Amino acid sequence: MGFQIAIDGPSASGKSSIAREVAKSFNFVHINSGLMYRAIAYKAIKEQVNLLCEEKLVELIEHTTLELTPDQRVIMDQNDVSEHLKTVSIEASTVSSFPLVRERLVHLQQEMAKSLDCVMDGRDIGTVVLPQADVKIFITADVEDRAHRRTNELKKMGIDADYENILDEMIQRDNQDINRPVGPLKQAEDALLIDTTGNTFEMSAKIVIDLIKERLGR
């Protein structure tokens, strides 16, 4: 088994960008678990599958191929769907609340991480997916700060974004993720807590990289 780093945190806390930077710094593989849930939600919407029907969602997964490329493109059924996933947030949270959906995708995530030096980010990586990870980090930030980040991120992509709407959606998303019965968003007991409120990306990434260097003895 390789060296595993688990990074968890709420939406727009910076965890995926930081995980990507950590992977680059240590030449590890980055696995963004949240993209898998977004991809399934996107496909369900596209194919008009009821997002509240666990059985239909599981059937959809069983007829879906998913691949994450090293540059974090999402290849679903041999098509690159990456550009469609940023706005599928609440829907991804809804899909991820079903035990059988999580079971299927958690198994896929664990298979991906086997025998790899990897950084995996999500909401239940340190608690459920990789409970034996060598380093666990929980990244957070004030919800207002996170909503501003997401708004700016979407605008840079040319997507019309309203801060108040995104803030409301983020509060709803946090509530769903924290209170879902299976794989809820929470800090693992042995995870290091890092609050990125007010930080630049570079500041936050350096804090995490320095912590991991300490663990690796570098």
Give the pLDDT confidence of 133-188 residue by residue, as tens digits: 999 999 999 999 999 999 998 998 888 899 999 999 999 989 988 998 888 999 99
Q: Please say if the pLDDT value at position 216 is more than 90.
A: no
Proportion of the chain in helix, strand, coil states, percent, rounded to 5? 50, 15, 35
Q: Please say if the pLDDT value at position 69 is more than 90.
A: no
How far, in Å, CA of 86 to CA of 152, rounded?
12
Q: Are 4 and 56 in contact (CB under 8 A)?
A: no
How far, in Å, CA of 130 to CA of 109, rounded?
9
pLDDT level of residue 199 (50, 70, 90 thresholds): very high
Q: Please say if the pLDDT value at position 209 is more than 80.
A: yes
How far, in Å, CA of 76 to CA of 82, rounded?
9
What share of the chain has pLDDT > 90, as a percent?
76
The more confident residue out of 34 and 7 is: 7
The pTM for the full model equals: 0.86
pLDDT level of residue 116 (50, 70, 90 thresholds): confident
Average pLDDT over residues 111-125: 91
What pLDDT, on a 0 to 100 scale, did the predictor assign at position 56?
97
Find the distance separating the first CA and the last CA of the chain, reported in whole Å: 20
DSSP code of residue 7: E
- In order of their start, the domains of the chain are 4-213 (3.40.50.300)
Q: Please say if the pLDDT value at position 217 is more than 80.
A: no
- What is the rounded average pLDDT for all residues in the chain? 92
HEC string for 102-142: HHHHHHHHHHHHCCCCEEEEECCHHHHHCCCCCEEEEEECC
What pLDDT, on a 0 to 100 scale, did the predictor assign at position 218?
63
Crossing angle of the two packed helices 163-179 and 143-156, in degrees rounded to 10: 120
How many degrees, rounded to 5, is the angle at CA 204 between CA 88 and CA 139? 55
Distances, alpha carbon 166 to alpha carbons 62, 128, 189, 204, in Å? 32, 28, 30, 23
Average pLDDT over residues 28-48: 94
How far, in Å, CA of 200 to CA of 203, rounded?
5
Within 8 A by CB and 6+ apart from 58, the residues are: 98, 100, 101, 104
Within 8 A by CB and 6+ apart from 53, the residues are: none
**Identity of the highest mean pLDDT range in 59-63, 115-119, 158-162, 214-218:** 59-63
